[in-house]
Structure 1
Amino acid sequence: MENNNVQNLDTVGNEKQYIVVRLGSEQYGIDIQYVDNIVRKQRITRVPKAQHYFKGVINLRGEVIPVMSLRLKFNLEPDEYTNATRIIIIKLEQHSAIGIIVDEVKEVVTLSEDAIDKPTSADSSGDTRIQYLSGVGKQENGLISLLNIANVINDKEAVS
């Protein structure tokens, strides 16, 4: 019986689940293991002298969580808040939680390793977002840029 469970874990090990989010017209995937919570847009308290892409902090059940705009981080148009706007609470092992604003949470997809292509610098065409990608997932609805969420959050770029 025990060996059967190990076998199941092996097959699952070749697949990963991603939460697919929309930013403008692009779809991005965030590895579900880092997603702690998804909350509706709420009041964000500004923090002085933060990087331009940090919108401020929110209070989530007594925990103060910094919130960043992926749109601003990726040099896209500023966020437009709608009923679909969500803040995804990300928890990396070595860090406390951080929120990222997305236009919409679309679905959860399971991608096998062979459905994921590694990003190449030839794809970048001068796009700085390439450093934030861990790969590109292929599914019937099109391509999903898979975020390397640790690079997105840990990147301490200079304020322009």
Structure 2
Amino acid sequence: MLERKDIVEEIKVIVFSLVDEEYGVEVAQVRSIEKMQNITRVPRTPDFVIGVINLRGVVTPVIDLKTRFSLGQADYTESTRIIIVAVEDMEVGLIVDAANDVIDIPINSIEQPPAVVGGIKASYLRGVAKLDGRLLVMLNLDKVLSNEEIQAMSAMER
């Protein structure tokens, strides 16, 4: 019989790639994963805000995570995906190179992030998970956008 201390808490995570790194975001925050589609530009937005898409009748702002994290120019391929996530009370699309997997991660395998990981500020990060010889950078979606940016994107939905 398992004792309470033997039970390891896990979180379910969507694994995606940007450049040559793997990142994760909790499944609970993901609404859907979409193929690239036509994005309508919106004037006077930050450079990482690519525009908006009409997703099943809902206007959804889309940001490019490579641009947001200063990881270089985005090249869209057949494997490029838009991960629709819930941030605060709105949905936002995140353009990623590929959405690779859904995995369970033991919470005790997630360590605090160093001050900067691959050029990404630690405030964007929840931590780094060590899994069978690979590192998975866990994003803190609530910090990827500032409150002002969330308010500006919320106005795009209307």
Query: Which of the five TM-score ranges fits, normalised by the shorter chain?
Result: 0.7 to 0.9
The CA deviation string for residues 86-134 of structure 1, in whole angstroms up to 9 with x for no partner, is: 0000013x3211100000011011111221111133xx27944211000
Cα 1:128–1:143 shift into 2, 3 Å: closer
Give 1:119's aligned amino acid. P
**For the Cα contact (< 8 Å) 2:13–2:104, is it kept in 1?**
yes
Using the size of structure 1 for normalisation, the TM-score is 0.83
Residue 72 of structure 1 aligns to a residue in which SS?
A: helix
**Offset of 1:12 from its aligned partner?**
7.9
Find out whether 1:25 has 2:25 as its counterpart: no
Q: Give ranges in structure 1 of 5+ residues lacking alignment.
A: 1-6
Percent same amino acid among aligned pairs?
Answer: 36
The CA deviation string for residues 45-75 of structure 1, in whole angstroms up to 9 with x for no partner, is: 0000001100000001110000000000000
Find out whether 1:51 has 2:46 as its counterpart: yes
Give 2:109's aligned amino acid. A
**Offset of 1:11 from its aligned partner?**
8.4
Aligned to 1:70: 65
Deviation above 6 Å: which 4+ runs of structure 1?
10-13
Q: How many correspondences in the alignment?
A: 146
Distance 1:63 1:37 in 2: 13
Aligned to 1:119: 113
Q: Give ranges in structure 2 of 5+ residues lacking alignment.
A: 150-158
Bigger fraction of residues in strand: 2
Aligned to 2:140: 148
Cα 1:11–1:44 shift into 2, 3 Å: farther
